[in-house]
Amino acid sequence: MNRIWRRTISAADFVILDANPLENIDNTRSIDEVYLRGRQVDREGLRMGWTTGN
């Protein structure tokens, strides 16, 4: 009997907020951390690239 094993790797995209958006929708702008494909995004590094033109 042949068995096929599958390995599923899941990665999440999500945002961590500093305040509850259910209390005030403007709290969606209070971003603390961002994760893409399960890895934290270097937001400061992105900002530096955008402001310096690199």
Task: Produce one character per residue of 11-36: b if its CB has 16 or more CB atoms within 10 Å, e if not.
Answer: eeeeeeeeeeeeeeeeeeeeeeeeee
Q: Domain residue spans in the chain?
A: 14-52
Indicate whether 1 pLDDT > 70. no
pLDDT digits (tens, 9 = 90+) for 2-44: 666 666 666 779 999 999 999 999 999 999 999 998 899 999 9
